[in-house]
Amino acid sequence: MVTILNAGNPITKICVGILFLLAGFFIVGCSPSLPEPVEEAYTLLPDEVDYNFHVKPILADRCYACHGPDEGSRKGNLRLDIEEEAFAQLASGNYAFVKGSVRKSEVYHRLVSEDQEFIMPPPESNLSLTPKEIAIIVKWIEQGSKWKAHWSFLKVEKPEVPEVKKDWVAVNPIDNFIQSELIRQGLSPNPEADRERLIRRVTLDLTGLPPTIEEIDNFLKDKSPEAYEKVVDRLLKTQAHAERLTMEWLDVARYADSHGVSFDGYREMWPYRDWVIEKFKSNLPYNDFITKQVAGDLLPGAKPDDKLATAFYRQNPMEASMGSIGEEYRVEYVAERTATTGTAFLGLTIGCARCHDHKFDPITQKNFFQLSAFFNSVDEFGLGPADANRPPTLILYEEDQLKRLDSIDALIATHEAMLTKVEAGQIKDYVSSISSADQIENEIGSYSFESFEKIKRKKKVVNPFAEDEKAAYEKKSAKEKAKADSLKKAKKIEYEEVLILDKNKKSEATLGVSLAEGKRGKGVSFDHDYDYVSLIEAGWIEHYESFSASVWVNPKKSEKPHIKTVMGNSNNYAGMYRGWEFALDSTNRLSMRMIHRLPDDYLEVVTEKAIPFEKWSQVGFTYDGSQKAEGVSIFIDGQKQKTNTLSDKLTRSIRPINSYTNKYDTLPIRLGKSYRVWTFDPGIFQGSMDEVRLFNRKLTQLEMARLGENTTLPISASISTEHNLAKAKEIIALEGKLKTFRKAKAEIMRNTREIMVMEDMPKPRKTYLLSRGVYNQYLEEVQTGTPESVLPFPEDYPKNRLGLAKWLVNKDNPLTSRVTINRYWQMIFGTGLVKTTGDFGIQGELPSHPELLDWLAAEFMESNWDLRKMLKLMVMSSTYRQSSYANPEKYEADPDNRFYARGSSYRWPAEIIRDNALASSGILQKKIGGPSVKPYQPEGLWEELGNFSYKLYTYKQDTGANLHRRSLYTFTRRFSPAPFMSTFDAGNREICITRRVNTNTPLQALNLLNDPQFVEASRSLSERMLKEKVSLDDQLTLGFRLSTGVTPSPQLLKTLREHYQSAFTHFQQHPNLADSLLAVGEIPRDIRLDKTKAAALTIVANSIFNFDETYMKR
């Protein structure tokens, strides 16, 4: 044995070095004697030590923190995760590892040293190796230090199915792999479960619903060898099976009905959930299932159904708070999608490489941002309304809506064509009749700003909950009303001061606005930031209405170029910027925007010519109601300008919506400043304005010239013709019809659904590696790419999400098939072959049966990614069909059942527990799809979150059938998930979850006993027992079988009978308690039934729902 004494002493270190050198001459190839505990552990090791399964976990857990992939934390210039560097010569001249020579391997001497300055890991790390772990490293070195890539990064190769020389039942290759390992572990499989428990187990596993009594009895009667397979085949084709698979997937997809983050407002994403159900029902090949969700919009000839699938990537939480930075959150969404891709499809913690190289896995920070580049070109904002979907979105038309739209579009096209055929020669000459601007028709507003008066008034307060509060007030008692009235009177009234212009109460200004010399007489002057004029009840136009405006402006030159709002009512980001805006851009060119929503549904035109500073200019625009950029004309000093179109994508309403309620709002036109806050330029105008004129039709060039006092404009034939045509009765009639058609179209569009989807910008956005992952700390530019350690990105793949999808389902990708099949093994057996379903990296657990995992992954791909086939393979195996009983010896040998010597047993997921109660009681509503529903939950939970969300301020419980839908359809609010679901470990869906953690708490039992939905289900089950059976024993047996799927034993039936008798006596003595119990829930009780019997059986049914066999898999 080599002993290193006082290794910190320099002389000792020299002596030790000489000893090592001499050892190299005289005992090359010999191993040092091992410390006694290490030597004992050495004798118990397997014949061959595997790097991936024995050595690497030790290095990763004890060494990688200082000698792993992260360059920032690496010490001693030693890296142990790469073969070349692990075996390279160190600066000292020594080698960490020398293949075949323990004596020459510095690592060994460091591990066994007793010197606190020499030993590794160092004492301050609080890490150490056991004798067995040291022995493993010794034996691995002795056997030649065979290095392998991480097991999950190796290409999937289908192993040979092992032979099992036992008389155990093996239905398919799964059993061969499992039973081979059982032999190695000295275990034997259990016999098959009894048929009642078996059909309940497989029915709940595959559908999430219990078998009916008829289905159980039919299976018990069918003695054919194919009986069980027939059950499996039937279940795999059901709608309930598709819903069961969807339940699992929605955790991965982080599906929710609210945005999360700060305000947790409403979003409408349920059409995506229904898409998932539909695809599982049709057994879409799983590679296509992945491809459509990653890049359905980029598929050749992509259909709406393909685009809808990409809603997968828009399930991420989204911010709405005004105090947040939009770009910061946009970058956050990109990073979240990157991390989700890693977890959902690759089983890697890729998100850990956002701020630095991954501490354990071979994923660099550059890899992270290369992968993020696939998601960085979505044209979206970081902030948006609290209660609405955000662009880009897909409009989901109903079939009848499409037909009506096609019909209306045809009428619009016909009448637009008719407009061009009216001849000017048929019309009276109106040109000479326009001699002044005062004679222009259809004026709806004229503002000269000659005087102002300061007034003090009550501050306007809009209560969005007024109707709800009124309804609640009406329900109060006289005493409660009096108290509410006194509180209302005691509330302090707030006042505000404003300027009223020209004695017109519909023309007001903030106090900083002053009067100055105008174009004619006086005008308004804007000298202070955030001052503006409001023109109330003016400019409320829709995108199908024609409109014109004119104003004289005299802008001051500012130090820093910025947008200067002339006039408009475009709202802020919380109102989706909806409205219109006439402004000067940063180069003083005129811009006109008509906005339904930014950045995807608006039109914008900008002039080529800029207007001068410090000089009066007349500016104006006309719009013809066509929803097209060509329908907008901009004028300077009465002359029509050449313009450039920046966007021509307006399809829906431009009427502003309230930034809180998202209902139509009556925002005044603002002069001098936009409504924008927190995001983009606020549009502060400095200078003067005068003579605002508004018209509810499109003015002609001649009329606009009059407004611009342009007396030098030559009246060309085209200008004269345009003016005359505008006055023609035939034209006016046609335009009236067009407005009617466009309005009808707008009404259809207003009632369509839309869902958030992925859509890339025409030109990809540049992606940068971000220092520490901070949104605005740019380092080098990166291109789209994937981690080379997994699979290099093929050169012939497109450099977009479609290329990424191809890469994910490439058969050479070692992770996707393994990760997917492992997750479905978890669904069927309770725990994955790799327990850490979301981490197949170095820190993840090793597979319990690596060969089986690879065989299943290869079989999955060879079957054309047929998930249904793989699930059948699992549930048909004798491994799955085993009894879950475990004697003490078997339990002690394998407490977690990792070797499958018995059937899996664990508590069912929350959804299955609830759905079982609803189904067994006969009140489950099996409607498929549609908006999420709100079943029973305690009052006041959502109010505790504050009133940041208008739509989700209060929990408005559903009624009727929606109370008893499958739990899959329960509304998921991220900040306040359904309490029952949370109690039974369902997540809040804020992140991608691949594995729920099962807890065991008293609160769960209390829920099953007292939750109104379970009490109501118990009552409904009691009524079903009374109606379907006559004798008490038959009633109790029926209730027990419906709930547990099992026929009660005589002893259990006796216990149930005694329980009933006790409850019956109690309710006989206290009939009022029976009334209270039977009144729980919205379903009215059947008054024809004896209430004492019904109440007593309700108590029994409630106890059965709390029985082990009901909520545990057996």
Q: How far apart are the first and last CA of the chain?
A: 55
Domain 441-459+494-698 has CATH 2.60.120.200: yes
How many CA atoms are closer than 13 Å to the CA of 173, on its beta-carbon side?
Answer: 16
Query: Which residue do the tokens 């393994």 mark?
Result: 818
Q: Which two tokens stand for residue 691?
A: 């003579």
Q: Is 378 helix (H, G, I), strand (E, B) or coil?
A: strand
pLDDT 10s digits, 370-381: 999 999 999 999
Give the position of tokens 């060494």: 63
Q: How confident is the model over 420-472, as pLDDT tens digits?
A: 888 755 444 444 555 566 679 999 999 999 999 999 999 888 888 888 888 88
Amino acid 146 reads K
Quote the pLDDT of residue 99: 93
CB atoms under 10 Å from CB of 122, counted, come to 14
From residue 530, how far is each of 12, 585, 683, 827 by CA, in Å? Answer: 77, 18, 9, 58
Nearest to 544 by CA among 395, 406, 408, 657: 408
CA distance linking residue 667 with residue 468, whole number of Å: 24
Q: 902-953, pLDDT tens digit by residue?
A: 999 999 999 999 999 999 999 999 999 999 999 999 999 999 999 999 999 9
Measured CA to CA, the distance from residue 1056 to residue 937 in angstroms comes to: 30
Q: What is the pLDDT of residue 4?
A: 33
Q: Exposed, middle or buried: residue 132 (CB in 10 Å: 0-12, 13-18, 19+)?
A: middle
Token pair for residue 23? 């050892």
Q: How far apart are CA 786 and CA 365, in angstroms?
A: 11
Q: Are 182 and 188 in contact (CB under 8 A)?
A: yes
Query: Cα 109 to the chain's mean position, in Å?
Result: 51
Give exposure, 351-372, as e/b (b: 16+ Cβ within 10 Å).
Answer: bbbbebbbbbbbbbbbbbbbbb
Enclosing H/E stretch for 911: helix 910-921
Q: What are phi and psi of 275, to 5 degrees?
A: -60, -45
Which of 62, 55, 64 minimizes the C-alpha distance to 123?
Answer: 62
Query: What DSSP character marks residue 1082?
Result: S
Rounded to whole angstroms, the Cα distance separating 134 from 789 reads 28
Residues β-bridged to residue 501: 452
- Give the HSE-up count for residue 280: Cα atoms under 13 Å, Cβ half-sphere: 24
- The whole-number pLDDT of residue 422 equals 84
SS3 593: strand
Size of the chain, expressed as the number of residues it contains: 1114
User: Which tokens hold the place of 1029?
Assistant: 């059976």
Give the span between the Cα atoms of 918 and 914, in whole angstroms.
Answer: 6
- Cα distance between residue 721 and residue 884, in whole Å: 90
pLDDT tens digits along 791-818? 999 999 999 999 999 999 999 999 999 9
- The candidate with the shortest Cα–Cα distance to 702, out of 390, 917, 947, 431, is 431
How far CA 906 is from CA of 617, 909, 1113, in Å, comes to: 78, 9, 5
Which residues in the chain land under pLDDT 70? 1-31, 424-438
The DSSP string of 876-900 is: HSHHHHB-----HHHHHH-TT-SS-
pLDDT tens digits, 892-915: 999 999 999 999 999 999 999 999
Q: pLDDT tens-digit profile of 1027-1056?
A: 999 999 999 999 999 999 999 999 999 999
Query: Would you give the distance in Å from CA 330 to the centre of its chain?
Result: 14
Sign of CA pseudo-dihedral 468, 470, 474, 476: positive
The mean pLDDT value of the chain amounts to 93
Is there a contact between 622 and 693 (Cβ–Cβ < 8 Å)?
Answer: no
CA distances (Å), origin 28, targets 20, 25, 33, 137, 689? 10, 6, 14, 19, 96
Give the strand pairing for 452-458 and 495-501: antiparallel
What radius of gyration, in Å, describes the C-alpha atoms of the chain?
Answer: 37
